[in-house]
């Protein structure tokens, strides 16, 4: 078992993980705005007091803030009232004066950039190492397992689990892992015939390389080794896109499980947990760290698409309403919505931070000191 990374590595790894992801996200907004002729006043990585920065020939201030927990691009006319000149008219390159479809695309470009980054990372991995593609053939069954109860046999080919196609054994592992104790329907191919079986998945506690425990689903089937399939150059982006879509779908399933009470909210991690994981993956090596960047990029893109005011998804929701109503929501309604969204995000940040500290045993040790 590996020891936990030192604090300095955790901090450095966290900054090196969040910084590029935020930069790429905001770069998506910025480039879309440039294409559509919208001016940018500030491009900031991090919040708070500026540490360093410069102003380009277009008048955009590029800067780095001291708090590396996000970033933003402030466009000309982001605030309708602040963007107006003495005549009361918006500048020609103002964001607020653009048609709703242009504003929608500029906002959407941020999360889209995070998915593009993940696709590029996975495409690079597939080009260098090949794509995991072990056939979903059952070569071994654990006695007394969910597979044994369902009547699976050696030689069966798993075609789908709960309607989700399993093109490889890696798909079987992924689908089962996030459904501990769940009742599932499995479609198998046996002797050229397709059959449906039902079973309840098992559940087990596993430990990672750093001794951290997590619960995972268990079907109880095995495959011989792992096959890495070479990917032709022209198939790299399509395969990487498909893989990114699959991981995004898995994230959605996990969120639904938490909302539905099937999975504990203890599994939700905040900045502290992300920092710890970043430090651990950096300790394991650059390949593990880059893989983490791809996963975090997917999560950042997905979270920003949630229809919560303050997030990009909240803006997209407002623009959709504006397109349907043919007029924007009132300034007062938007302000109240953003206040509610900000309160929700702050509450979530507080919850996940308390949760993270609890997973590290902070509250238990504090209780012993007080007691």
Residue 170, C-beta contacts closer than 8 angstroms, at least 6 positions apart: 132, 133, 134, 226
DSSP one-letter code for 261: T
pLDDT at 337 over 60: yes
Which of 26, 167, 195, 227 does the annotation list as catalytic? Answer: 26
* Residue 208 pLDDT: 73
Token pair 């045993």 is at which residue?
361
Q: Is the dihedral of CA 184, 296, 118, 309 positive or negative?
A: positive
* Residue 258 pLDDT: 77
Domain boundaries, the chain: 7-36+98-130+290-370, 134-226
Q: Which of 50, 49, 44 is nearest to 30 (CA)?
A: 44
Q: Which band of pLDDT confidence, cut at 50, 70 and 90, is reported for residue 155?
A: very high
Higher pLDDT, 98 or 211: 98
* Residue 81 pLDDT: 42
Distance separating alpha carbons of residues 21 and 3, to the nearest angstrom: 27
Token pair 């995991």 is at which residue?
132
Distance separating alpha carbons of residues 49 and 311, to the nearest angstrom: 22
∠ at Cα 357 (356, 360), nearest 5°?
Answer: 95
8 A C-beta contact, residue 264 and residue 352? no
CATH top class, domain 134-226: mainly beta
Q: Is the dihedral of CA 325, 326, 328, 330 positive or negative?
A: negative
Chain-wide mean pLDDT for the chain? 87
pLDDT tens profile 302-315: 999 999 888 999 99
Q: Which band of pLDDT confidence, cut at 50, 70 and 90, is reported for residue 267?
A: low
* Residue 88 pLDDT: 54
8 A C-beta contact, residue 235 and residue 152? no
- Please give the average per-residue pLDDT across 330-351, as a whole number: 85
Token pair 């593009």 is at which residue?
116
Of 4-18, 202-216, 325-339, the range with the lowest mean pLDDT is 202-216
* Residue 366 pLDDT: 53
* Residue 266 pLDDT: 64
pLDDT tens profile 197-222: 999 999 888 877 777 777 889 999 98
227 counts as catalytic: no
pLDDT tens profile 61-90: 999 998 877 889 999 977 654 334 444 567
Q: Which band of pLDDT confidence, cut at 50, 70 and 90, is reported for residue 334?
A: confident
Higher pLDDT, 366 or 174: 174
Token pair 């990372």 is at which residue?
121
């Amino acid at each position: 078992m590996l020891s936990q990374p030192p604090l300095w590595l955790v901090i450095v790894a966290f900054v090196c993980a969040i910084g590029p992801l935020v930069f790429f996200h905001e770069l998506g907004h910025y480039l879309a705005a440039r294409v559509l002729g919208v001016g940018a006043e500030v491009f900031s990585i991090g919040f708070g007091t500026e540490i360093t920065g410069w102003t380009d020939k277009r008048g955009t201030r590029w800067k780095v803030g001291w708090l590396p927990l996000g970033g933003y691009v402030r466009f000309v006319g982001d605030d309708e009232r602040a963007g107006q000149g003495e005549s009361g008219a918006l500048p020609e390159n103002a964001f607020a004066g653009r048609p709703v479809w242009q504003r929608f695309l500029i906002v959407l470009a941020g999360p889209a950039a995070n998915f593009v980054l993940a696709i590029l990372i996975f495409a690079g991995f597939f080009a260098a190492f090949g794509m995991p593609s072990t056939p979903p053939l059952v070569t071994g069954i654990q006695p007394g397992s969910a597979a044994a109860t369902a009547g699976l046999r050696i030689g069966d080919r798993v075609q789908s689990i709960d309607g989700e196609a399993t093109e490889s054994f890696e798909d079987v592992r992924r689908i089962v892992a996030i459904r501990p104790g769940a009742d599932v329907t499995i479609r198998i191919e046996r002797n050229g015939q397709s059959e449906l079986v039902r079973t309840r998945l098992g559940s087990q506690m596993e430990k990672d390389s750093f001794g951290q425990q997590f619960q995972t689903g268990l079907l109880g089937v095995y495959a011989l080794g792992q096959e890495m399939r070479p990917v032709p150059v022209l198939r790299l982006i399509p395969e990487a896109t498909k893989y990114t879509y699959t991981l995004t779908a898995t994230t959605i399933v996990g969120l639904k499980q938490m909302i539905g009470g099937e999975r504990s909210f203890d599994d939700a991690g905040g900045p502290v947990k992300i920092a710890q994981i970043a430090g651990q993956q950096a300790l394991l090596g650059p390949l593990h760290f880059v893989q983490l960047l791809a996963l975090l990029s997917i999560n950042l893109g997905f979270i920003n698409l949630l229809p919560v005011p303050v997030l990009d998804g909240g803006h997209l929701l407002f623009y959709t309403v504006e397109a349907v109503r043919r007029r924007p929501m009132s300034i007062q309604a938007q302000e109240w919505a953003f206040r509610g969204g900000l309160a929700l995000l702050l509450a979530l940040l507080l919850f996940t931070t308390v949760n993270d500290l609890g997973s590290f045993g902070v509250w238990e040790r504090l209780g012993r000191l007080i007691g």
